[in-house]
Amino acid sequence: MTNETANKRRYPGPRPFMYEDRDVYFGREEEIKFLSTLIMNNRTTIIHGKSGYGKSSLINAGAIPCILEKYNCEIIRIRFYNYEKNTSLSPKETLLKVLQLHQASEEDYLQELLPPSQESAWRYLKNLQNFSAKPAQADTLFKTPLPAIATNPTYILLFDQFEELFTYPKEMVQELGEELFNIYTNRIPQGAQEAIQNFIEDIGVEEISTSTSTLEAHKTEFALLNQSIPVKLVFSIRSDRFNRLTYLNSYLPDFLNNTHKVKRLNQQQVKSAIVKPGALINGFATPKINYEDGLLDKIIAFLEKTNEDLKVIEVFEMQIICSKLEEIVLKHIGNNKGINEILLTEQLIIESENVQSTDLLFEGLIKSYYKDCIESINDEAEQLAARYLIENKLVDSFTKNRVSLDFSLIHQIGISPKTLVHLMDSKIIRAELNSVGGKSYELSHDSLINSIIMAGKDLGDLKTKLSKFAQHELNRYKQSETKKQVSEHLFQLAAGNKLEDLKLENESLYQAVRDNQLLTSINVGTGTETSDKRLILKEAFRGTIRKMAQEAQRQSIKGLTKRNITTILISSFIILSLAVITYQSKKNYGLLYVGYAVDSIQNKDDALALTDYIYRRRWYSESEKEKIRIKLKKLFTTPEVQSKLSYFNDTLATTNLKYEEFAISSSGNFIIYKNDNTNLDSMQVNYKVVGTKSRLDTTFSRVGYSYFLNNTDRLALAITSPNYKWINITPSRREDTLIIYDCKQKNLVKILPLGTGRYLYPAEFINSHLYNEFDSYRVRYTYAGNLLVPFLERNAKNEFIRKVAIISPNSETVILHSDMSISMSKDGKLLMVGEFINKPQRAIYIYNENGKGPRNDNKCGYDSIQNISYADFSINRSIFYIRNQEGTAFLRRYNGDLKKAAPDIPFIISSNIEIAYNRAGRNISSDVTWDEKYAFTPTYSKDSIYITNLKNPSKSLLVLGHLVAFNLERNLLITYNSSLSNTLTDNIPDTIYRRNANGNTINYFVENKGFKSFEYNSKKDAILALTNDNRLLLLDQNMILKAAFKLTANDLFGFSHDGSSIFYFLDNYLCVFRNNDTLIDLFNFDNAYKWYKNELLRHSENKVSIGDLKDKYELDF
């Protein structure tokens, strides 16, 4: 046993577990097996979870060891780190550098085909394919060597902290996307293609015998070119940055489909993570650790915090506590190495030097962690600067909440990069992306705040310590005159003057000021641009120096009263001059605030008020004015400010909500969404319903899925069986239950247990976009108020029969067989069911809304049609259908008593329709859409739309573009042409068109930045369009821009059914707006500023004066 092994710690503390910690990593054993299998069974995997939930630990100490033990793989880890201008490698360069380090040989097997300049990730991986037998893996992250690699391994490219990629310029992200695309598809990069083509052409001009032998010599290289690269891409990213991944979706098709969400450890997992490492024997610095009865429960009780009415475990605190407990054990045993086992008791902890009472037992352990971290900083000035940053700048003095501080302001505090790294390595602070793509610092966890406040008292009053250090720094000058002069110059610097502008009498005095530890050097420029270095007074000491200046001024005024009037006049002139200097310094400070500090203020209302104050003071040139306007525009489009336009907003307990995980009622008065802050099974979660105009706020537990019934404020809540798989349902004692809840009346309308062997359809059927409000597997109401309930029934052969129950208001029930989704006529009076499983031909049957036929029973319908491949109701209850293997569509009409009014009318249709109706997008209810005159369908390529004239096929036409939506009542098509389409004219901006049924353009809207997605509302004839630069545009029926908001790439948005409301989910923030004339384009500065001044400020309930804000943020302008 080596010394290194014998000194190993059981608890690594508040840092991610590494590969060498794999034997002490417990709590996620089952998840490790699942994740390892998931990675190996898919080409791409996204691992996401909230910060601090343990993604890196799960990967490093869990999934990687498991994969390397079971599979022949090579792990290649890539991390980009946050973008630093002029110093960072591009993401592509980082990827190539890492792949180069993993090369088994310096020999390049493609060197004769490709010149050295053709460097790419594809080329490096092809080299690895060629030289596949390798020694033990080298990775700077892992101190313990990884296992040796056998022949022909799978290469796993692991991108950790992947959110850091999106701090880089867009073109660098796209450059990396191209590299990943080439790896993923085994596509030879463009430059390499040309080089290989030139090589082949050069062979072709040689003599036949020579060219043949040349090709024979390179047959291995050419054979390997066609082999796919055995590579898997794994991305680890924070959940609140998940939406950024959509930027790469065009390079890695479908890679968003395979994800794994890392959740908090639950109570049982935490117990395992504490007890099992302690129970290990041999090879550790401490003997086996047993926990006293009751001690573990006290630890868990302390770690549990209430968040959104749920009990959650703070794993970060657990890691600190366990690490400190191990230190207590080490100290207790001392040099006695003969102890093999120890009982850790509460009394032993109390008697240690870290805590004094049982009430603050574990709080004291965390407090001592912060205290030890600060005291380990040797330099006193750095120690004080670190405390000032953490205790004064990263903790709000009023609310005691953590706040962020922009990277550009950090160095003004006077803290060195080395100390920042120390604080980050200790997990006291962390670097975050801010709203403008820069970097900010914040406390790593909210749970640190109380401990920091407590530790601050033990470390001594910070203001007193800063004052003493400043005085000591001035007292070190031996000559009193030098001390006086340095002090005066520091007073000038505290007022905002530049050191370079001060008249220093000699070089020695200038040097004395420069060498003072109260000063620091910063980059100076506008916004994020840097131009030169400037010495300024460290912010940590600025308040102390100002107080010293004020005291000196008071002493000076006291002396003036004893002198003559001439001296007073001269002093008045000096004071007036100082006032001018102070005004100029306030102006400079104000502009510096706009350039740097505004983005770091967490309360955007405060940031907006302060920026507006500077804007109104007119402290700027024309160029500076435009920059301030840009800052104001950014603030207008922050989530906090633009939500002021909404009539309802709410904060969710989850991010990355999907469209199927929320619903809005027809009127927009109620919203239900998945509340995912829970450790329950993914099929059994909490759903929260809120009233946008009322005080309804209710949570339903163990819900499989939920949605609003057709055009009502009533909810359908599906209580589904755990471990639900519709093909292979696990037997369960719990019955599936349907609950109908009336949000308006706030009461349960119906609780409907389905009974043993009956199951509601799973969520993937309910939420499929192949269906619409009239044709689906959803529960809904008919015209007379009957409840339509599709379900699955297990028979004696363990087969599942698809059925539908029609339940009348007086609970009379009719059950029909239907192998297809249940279609209902637009007026809710007719039903269509189908049979095709174990039948020679597909058939549909038509019933009235009570589920009965002409004999008033359910033995047969009013009508049936055999041998069909597609059928649906038209607007007026006629049926449009297509027969199998025929290029003919038919229209069947009914009279009032549901008898056929006339023979079916045949129509010759395009063969494309037969395949097109099985393809659908989220915004299109069915790809074949029609009324009794026209049928609209995209072509197979999706780049054009057929408008088939059913009455006169010769007048059918083809319209170039993508089908966004349709409105049969208005005979409208909404289409758009994309500049990215290969089949359309290049260099034409993305354009949305409103067309009539003849394909003629009514009006259009052009967007130079391009579109991502759309939502169309037929009731209001309005469009919501998300652009590529993440602006959400609201267009009216005349294609005029009515409003615009700022979203991010993967946010959800849409209309209520009647179009009276629009909504969006921005990360975990929900806003609902009235779709009326109060909405504005927040990117139009004049309109947004007018709204801010006339509406927002006038009706603000909690107005705060500028003076109070300047005091709150310690600003001086």
Tell me the pLDDT tens digit for each residue of 383-393.
Answer: 988 898 888 88
Supply 280's token pair: 């290990």
Tell me the pLDDT tens digit for each residue of 220-262.
Answer: 667 777 788 899 999 999 887 777 787 787 788 777 778 888 8
pLDDT of residue 827: 86
pLDDT of residue 59: 94
Cβ-Cβ contacts under 8 Å for 114 (sequence gap 6 or more): 123, 192, 195, 196
Lowest mean pLDDT among 261-270, 537-546, 825-834: 537-546
Higher local confidence (pLDDT), 50 or 493: 50
H or E element in which residue 513 lies: helix 507-514
Sign of CA dihedral 860, 866, 871, 874: negative
The Cα–Cα gap between 388 and 376 comes to 16
The Cα–Cα gap between 184 and 186 comes to 6
Residue that has been written with the tokens 């909504």 in this structure = 1063
Lowest mean pLDDT among 127-131, 653-657, 1028-1032: 653-657
Tell me the pLDDT tens digit for each residue of 1072-1091.
Answer: 999 999 899 999 999 999 99
583: pLDDT confidence band, cut at 50, 70 and 90? very low
Q: How far is CA 100 from the centre of its chain?
A: 31
Q: What mean pLDDT comes out for the span 188-202?
A: 75
Higher local confidence (pLDDT), 938 or 791: 791
Helix 190-204, helix 208-217: angle, nearest 10: 140
Cβ-Cβ contacts under 8 Å for 839 (sequence gap 6 or more): none
Q: What mean pLDDT comes out for the span 552-560?
A: 56
Residue 681: strand, helix, or coil: coil
CA angle 982, 985, 988 (to 5 degrees): 110
Tell me the pLDDT tens digit for each residue of 826-854.
Answer: 888 899 998 876 666 788 899 989 998 87
Alpha helices by DSSP H, 898-955: 912-916
Instruction: Say if residue 189's pLDDT is above 90.
Output: no
The Cα–Cα gap between 232 and 234 comes to 7
Higher local confidence (pLDDT), 244 or 75: 75
The Cα–Cα gap between 350 and 50 comes to 34
Instruction: Say if residue 1110's pLDDT is above 70.
Output: yes
- Going by C-alpha positions, the residue among 230, 41, 77, 97 that lies closest to residue 162 is 77
As beta bridge partners, residue 310 has: 307
The Cα–Cα gap between 872 and 931 comes to 10
Alpha carbons within 13 A on the beta-carbon side of 296: 17
Alpha helices by DSSP H, 815-928: 912-916
pLDDT of residue 976: 85
- What is the per-residue DSSP string for 1092-1107? IIIIITTT-SS---HH
CA angle 124, 128, 133 (to 5 degrees): 160
Tell me the pLDDT tens digit for each residue of 397-429.
Answer: 666 777 777 776 777 787 888 888 888 888 888
Phi/psi for 593 (5° steps) reads: -60, -45
The count of residues in the chain is 1117
The Cα–Cα gap between 1067 and 1079 comes to 21
Strand 662-664's sheet: what is its strand order? 662-664, 670-675, 685-691, 697-703
Contact status, residue 967 vs residue 1021, Cβ threshold 8 Å: yes
1018: pLDDT confidence band, cut at 50, 70 and 90? confident
Higher local confidence (pLDDT), 27 or 228: 27
pLDDT of residue 587: 56
Supply 1116's token pair: 């001086």
Tell me the pLDDT tens digit for each residue of 774-793.
Answer: 788 899 999 999 999 999 99
- What is the per-residue DSSP string for 358-374? STTHHHHHHHHHHHHHH
Contact status, residue 973 vs residue 943, Cβ threshold 8 Å: no
Contact status, residue 769 vs residue 922, Cβ threshold 8 Å: yes
The CATH fold assigned to 347-460 is Arc Repressor Mutant, subunit A (1.10.10)
DSSP at 256: G
Instruction: Say if residue 1026's pLDDT is above 80.
Output: yes
- Going by C-alpha positions, the residue among 229, 92, 80, 100 that lies closest to residue 159 is 80
Give the chain's end-to-end CA distance (angstroms, integer). 65
Which of 449-463, 473-487, 970-984 is most confident? 449-463
Instruction: Say if residue 987's pLDDT is above 70.
Output: no
- DSSP helix, strand, coil percent of the chain (3-state; round to 5): 35, 25, 40
- Rg from Cα positions in the chain: 35
Alpha carbons within 13 A on the beta-carbon side of 138: 9
Tell me the pLDDT tens digit for each residue of 878-934.
Answer: 888 887 655 677 888 877 667 776 788 777 665 544 333 322 233 333 344 444 455
- Left, alpha or beta for 479 (phi > 0: left; psi -120 to 50: alpha)? beta
Strand 843-848's sheet: what is its strand order? 775-776, 822-824, 830-835, 843-848, 863-866
Residue 443: strand, helix, or coil: strand
CA angle 462, 463, 465 (to 5 degrees): 65
pLDDT of residue 531: 43
The Cα–Cα gap between 589 and 598 comes to 12
Strands 341-344 and 288-291: parallel
H or E element in which residue 890 lies: strand 888-892
Contact status, residue 79 vs residue 108, Cβ threshold 8 Å: no
Q: What mean pLDDT comes out for the span 978-994?
A: 64
Supply 918's token pair: 């099985």
The Cα–Cα gap between 702 and 706 comes to 11
Residue 963: strand, helix, or coil: strand
Residue 31: strand, helix, or coil: helix
* Domain-wise residue ranges, the chain: 28-105+121-191+229-262, 265-333, 347-460, 477-599
Sign of CA dihedral 844, 845, 849, 850: negative
1065: pLDDT confidence band, cut at 50, 70 and 90? confident
Helices (H) and strands (E) in the chain, counts: 31, 54
- What average pLDDT does the chain have? 77
Residue that has been written with the tokens 């920059």 in this structure = 627
The Cα–Cα gap between 995 and 1003 comes to 7
How far are the Cα atoms of 70, 155, 175 from residue 18, in angstroms, in the given order?
A: 19, 20, 30
Contact status, residue 891 vs residue 904, Cβ threshold 8 Å: yes
559: pLDDT confidence band, cut at 50, 70 and 90? low
The Cα–Cα gap between 884 and 874 comes to 20
Neighbours of 697 (CB within 10 A): 10
As beta bridge partners, residue 149 has: 134
pLDDT of residue 917: 33
How far are the Cα atoms of 877, 899, 906, 1089 from residue 902, in angstroms, in the given order?
A: 14, 9, 12, 64
pLDDT of residue 769: 52
Higher local confidence (pLDDT), 92 or 542: 92
524-529: long-range contacts at Cβ-Cβ below 8 A with a sequence spacing of 24 or more?
525/595, 526/595, 526/624, 526/627, 527/595, 527/627, 528/85, 528/408, 528/438
The Cα–Cα gap between 91 and 402 comes to 31
290: pLDDT confidence band, cut at 50, 70 and 90? very high
Q: Does domain 28-105+121-191+229-262 have CATH number 3.40.50.300?
A: yes
Residue type, 1069: Y
The Cα–Cα gap between 994 and 297 comes to 65
